[in-house]
Structure 1
Amino acid sequence: MKVINLSEPYDHQLIEPGPVILALGFFDGVHRGHQRVIRAAKKVAQEKNAKLAVMTFDRFPKIAYQGLDPLKIRYLTTTKRKLALFEQLGADLAYVVEFNEKLVPMLPQEFVDKYIIALHAIGAVAGFDFTYGKPEIANMKTLPDYAQGRFEVFEVPELTEDAVKVGTTQIKHLLDQGKISETNLLLGYPFETTGPIVHGQARGRKLGFPTINVETDAQQKLPALGVYAVKVQIGTAWFDGMASVSHNETFGPQQEVTVEINLFDVHQDLYGQVARVQWFEYLRPSFKFTGAQALVDQMKKDESQSRELLLAVTPCESLRK
């Protein structure tokens, strides 16, 4: 998959020649609803002998429209992770558009001309709630008017699970409650975070539960504070383990939120390597223990429960069809 970064005003020579079917959206999480859009676009592309292009933005558009603090936004998927999922879904091209101040005042017709027509789209596919400006005038119902017969418009309806919309907001709410199983159901794959293994304070090693400290991107959404059963890929190998998302309250107040993982039956130096963490089950909340021994006793119970739970799950190397 070829990745092309566009920043308004962009260089038109960057645009790939030839007709494309363009899937449009921010696609944070690339959840089952998003997958439905991209797979629908892939089907149309195959029927029309065109390439599948997916267009996304480098940041949440509402940052610009609503004046949100970009440092407070947390994403289900980083741009790098989104691109990997696009490729797994069969995209030939990915356009990553910088959502800068020059896009905000752009009228719907100008957006359509520059970011659909100029990308050589013969078809545009998006979810029912996709907008490209003020929602009341720049939505999927008005898109055919702006298309002016130059491309086809394909609207993908809402996807629900047990009467609940499969959407990014809903998934973030589930993560905030530590509901990993429900999160994974709506995503269509295990929730995943990635980061380098860095040095911590070695408290776990002293307690008999050595941990790896995984440094997570500052804008990566994390599950609620608590302990989880996880599988971790380091290099080509997968390991079972239990992860703690916490402030380490037992060892003092005002600690930074950390992701510490005890890998089962692993006794090797992993510092500097990259850990790919897939989250499978919530075990318990994070809380302050009366002392180190109480913490050790609980961790033994956590390990036993994690080992049993993880026997029933397998890591997801790629999106399933």
Structure 2
Amino acid sequence: MRIIRLTEPYDQTQIPNSDVVLAMGFFDGVHRGHQRVINVARKKAHNTHLPLAVLTFDIYPKIFFTDVTKDSMCYLTLNQEKIERMEALGVDILYIVTFDENLVYMPPQEFIDKYAVALRARYLVAGADFTYGPPAIATMPLLPEYAQGRFNIMCVNHLCDGGQKVSSTRIRQALATGQMTEANRLLGYHYQVHGKVVHGFQRGRELGFPTLNVLPWAQERIPGDGVYAVRVCLDGESTWYQGMASIGNNETFGNDLARTVEINLFNFNRQVYGRQVTVEWMYYLRPMIKFDGIDELICQLQADRARSRKLLASL
């Protein structure tokens, strides 16, 4: 897959000299709804013997229209994971467009001229709610006015699950409340978080449950507080280790403690400080609890481990 990064004003010589089927969207999470859009585009590309191109943006465009700042926005998939998932979906060319003030104020006609026509789209494929400017004047029903017959338009209807639209917003809400089964179903894969193993207080080791303390990548969305059954892969290795993770403030050990991500891996006793890890969040077990004593906590951890092993054994 060829990756082309475009920053306004971009150099036209960056654009391949071939017509393409072009799918557009931000695609945060590359969930089943997004996969549907890309699969429709891929089928058209196959039938017309054209390359499949996808255009996305480096940051969430709506940041410029909300109170959320660029640095505080949390994503389901950061750009590297998005790139990997696009490649797995069979994308030939991935355009990653820098979304800045130059695009915020760009009129819809200019955007279509520069990012559809100039990218040599013979077919433009997007979801029914895709916008390419202010929602009042840049919707899919209005796209033919800007296309001016220069390319064909394929509008992909929403994918529904349980009577509701599959959306990034819905997945974020599921993650925030620990609904991992729903989040993973809507994504079409197990949700992942990436991070670095750092030193902690080693309380888990003292309890007989040594943990990896993971510092997640900035701007990656973390599931809500609770205890989960997880799988972990160390960077550079292919083995997935089973375990259980906690997200929260560990109130049993005191008040006003920092929120942490701690993972107890089964049958694992290596020192891996400084290593990068990928965590797959499989099942939600229970909320975080402030225990009255250490013995009560250990008893609960033993139950959590047994339940996690049982759930993960079915994979």
Q: Normalising by the residue count of structure 2, what TM-score does the alignment of the two structures yield?
A: 0.97
The aligned residue for residue 266 of structure 1 is 268
1:287 is matched by which residue type in structure 2?
I
Q: Higher mean Cα deviation, 178-187 or 289-298?
A: 289-298
The aligned residue for residue 316 of structure 1 is none
Q: Higher mean Cα deviation, 244-253 or 259-268?
A: 244-253
Question: Aligned to 1:242, what secondary structure does the other structure show?
Answer: strand
The aligned residue for residue 318 of structure 1 is none
The aligned residue for residue 236 of structure 1 is 238
Q: Deviations over 1:171-201 (max 9, x none)?
A: 1111111000011111111111111222222
Alignment of 1:33-182 (within 5 A): 33-182=33-182
Cα distance, 1:89 vs structure 2: 0.3
Q: Measure, in 2, the Cα distance between the counterparts of 1:254 and 1:305.
A: 29
Cα distance, 1:67 vs structure 2: 4.7
Q: Measure, in 2, the Cα distance between the counterparts of 1:279 and 1:149.
A: 46
Q: Measure, in 1, the Cα distance between the counterparts of 2:171 and 2:211.
A: 28
Q: Measure, in 2, the Cα distance between the counterparts of 1:29 and 1:285.
A: 25
Q: Measure, in 2, the Cα distance between the counterparts of 1:289 and 1:71.
A: 35
Question: Aligned to 1:240, what secondary structure does the other structure show?
Answer: strand
Q: Is the 8 A contact 1:183 1:191 kept in 2?
A: yes
Question: Aligned to 2:71, what secondary structure does the other structure show?
Answer: helix
Question: Which consecutive segments of 4 or more residues in structure 1 shift more than 3 A?
Answer: none
Question: Aligned to 1:87, what secondary structure does the other structure show?
Answer: helix
Q: Measure, in 2, the Cα distance between the counterparts of 1:17 and 1:257.
A: 50
The aligned residue for residue 32 of structure 2 is 32
The aligned residue for residue 216 of structure 2 is 216
- Give aligned-pair identity as a percent: 49
Question: Aligned to 1:94, what secondary structure does the other structure show?
Answer: strand
Q: Deviations over 1:186-227 (max 9, x none)?
A: 111111111122222211111110111122122111111000
Q: Measure, in 2, the Cα distance between the counterparts of 1:277 and 1:189.
A: 13
Cα distance, 1:281 vs structure 2: 0.7
Cα distance, 1:71 vs structure 2: 2.8
The aligned residue for residue 12 of structure 1 is 12
Cα distance, 1:233 vs structure 2: 1.5
The aligned residue for residue 281 of structure 2 is 279
Corresponding residue to 2:305 among 303, 308, 318: 303
Question: Aligned to 2:102, what secondary structure does the other structure show?
Answer: coil
Q: Measure, in 1, the Cα distance between the counterparts of 2:89 and 2:268.
A: 34
Gaps of 5+ in 2: none
**2:253 paired with 1:251:** yes
2:296 is matched by which residue type in structure 1?
A
Q: Deviations over 1:228-254 (max 9, x none)?
A: 001111211111100111112222222
Cα distance, 1:287 vs structure 2: 2.1
Question: Aligned to 1:270, what secondary structure does the other structure show?
Answer: coil
Q: Measure, in 1, the Cα distance between the counterparts of 2:207 and 2:66.
A: 47
Q: Is the 8 A contact 1:65 1:104 kept in 2?
A: no
Q: Paired residues, what number?
A: 313
Change (3 A) 1:107 1:231: same
Q: Measure, in 2, the Cα distance between the counterparts of 1:106 and 1:312.
A: 51
Q: Measure, in 2, the Cα distance between the counterparts of 1:142 and 1:225.
A: 43
Cα distance, 1:272 vs structure 2: 2.2
1:78 is matched by which residue type in structure 2?
L
1:122 is matched by which residue type in structure 2?
R
What value does the CA root-mean-square deviation take over the aligned residues? 1.1
